[in-house]
Chains A and B, each alone.
Chain A
Amino acid sequence: MASWVWFHKLGSPKHFYALSEKLLPWFAYATAITLAISVYGAFSAPPDYQQGQSYRIMFIHVPSAWMSLFIYVVMAVSAAIALIWKIKVTDLVAGASAQIGASFTFLTLCTGSIWGRPMWGTWWAWDARLTSELILLFLFIGYIALRSSFEDRAAGAKASAVLAMVGLVNVPIIHFSVQWWNTLHQPPSVSKFGMPSIDPSMLWPLLLMAVALKLFYITVLLMRVRCEVLDRERGSPWVQELALAENGGAVQEAKR
């Protein structure tokens, strides 16, 4: 039963703050190392026989796209958990994930567009995958706007949670779009049944970059949730002591 106690404690902002303090450096270093190796792999892989050097955009675009979907799912699930079981920390995770997820969706759309210009001859097409990914960006932005538009934080959290959950249907649509419709965007080479149809020298940097970005997400998520904890708990003694400790000099200045 000790494991349940630990899990229950995790829901408390103060314990989360203490735990994340210890975890953060590990995730930060792991992110930096995997990112560096991925980028090295991205540029040491041989050029594509069809696309030449331009295909290297894939090492940004594809993991970014995977992240946009992954983060949306995390956001929607944690919002749902917060709504149903009223666990504070999961609500903070949902809120913190939104901006991170939006930025990866934006990166996916832009790098896809940049890649599409030389390869397809167009910056944009209203094909199923591109359009549904754009809708994902609107969902992230809508979640952020809705969440912050209420005076009462709890109401904002509830309303945006419903939006996040409804929008969840978009995720399988994005994933299966290239199979269900005739699309300009190519069909899956990695996330499909059977062996990935991509050379190993290109596959490993792609997969490692996906790992690196997940570690990156956890790192910045922890950073953001910690800020939310400080904000929500600003009345409590431990936060005030922390603030005074880190601002001793600045406060003396203000007195003068």
Chain B
Amino acid sequence: MTDFLQMGGYAAFVWSAYGLALVVLLGNVIAPLRQRRKLLREIARAATRMKGGSTS
């Protein structure tokens, strides 16, 4: 297990590369999720205001 983590002495290089990749991938997933939530909230608020404050 320690051999695996050590990566033949290149641990810092290999793991930072994979770590950065993980950050980039997660960022690309989280950004549209947050944007969607924000958008739908805005649109819902605007729609309720237009309808005079009632949603039911």
Q: Is the CB of A53 within 8 A of B10?
A: yes
Q: Is the CB of B43 within 8 A of A239?
A: yes
Q: Is the CB of B41 within 8 A of A247?
A: yes
Q: Is the CB of A251 within 8 A of B13?
A: no
Q: Please tell me the number of chain A residues within 8 Å of chain B, measured between CB atoms.
A: 44
A230 / chain B contacts, CB cutoff of 8 Å: 36, 39-40, 43
Q: Is the CB of B29 within 8 A of A118?
A: no
Give the secondary structure class of B's interface.
helix
Type the 1/0 row for A226-256, where 1 means its CB is closer than 8 Å to any CB of B.
1100110010000110111011101110110
Counting CB contacts under 8 A, is A114 at the interface? yes
Stretch at the interface among A100-108, A146-154, A193-201: A100-108
Q: Is the CB of A110 within 8 A of B20?
A: yes
A129 / chain B contacts, CB cutoff of 8 Å: none
B27 / chain A contacts, CB cutoff of 8 Å: 103
Q: How far is the CA of A56 from the CA of B13 in the complex (A)?
A: 10
The residue on A at minimum CB distance from B16 is: A114
Type the 1/0 row for A17-41, where 1 means its CB is closer than 8 Å to any CB of B.
0000000000000000000000000
The residue on A at minimum CB distance from B18 is: A60
Q: Which of B4, B21, B24, B32 contacts A227 (CB 8 A)?
A: B32
Given contacts A99-B31, A223-B36, whether A53 and B14 have CB atoms under 8 Å apart is: yes
Which residues does A use to contact B, with CB under 8 Å?
43, 47, 52-54, 56-57, 60-61, 64, 99-100, 103-104, 106-107, 110-111, 114-115, 117-118, 216, 220, 223-224, 226-227, 230-231, 234, 239-240, 242-244, 246-248, 250-252, 254-255
Which residues does B use to contact A, with CB under 8 Å?
4, 7-10, 13-14, 16-18, 20-21, 24-25, 27-29, 31-33, 35-36, 39-48, 53, 55
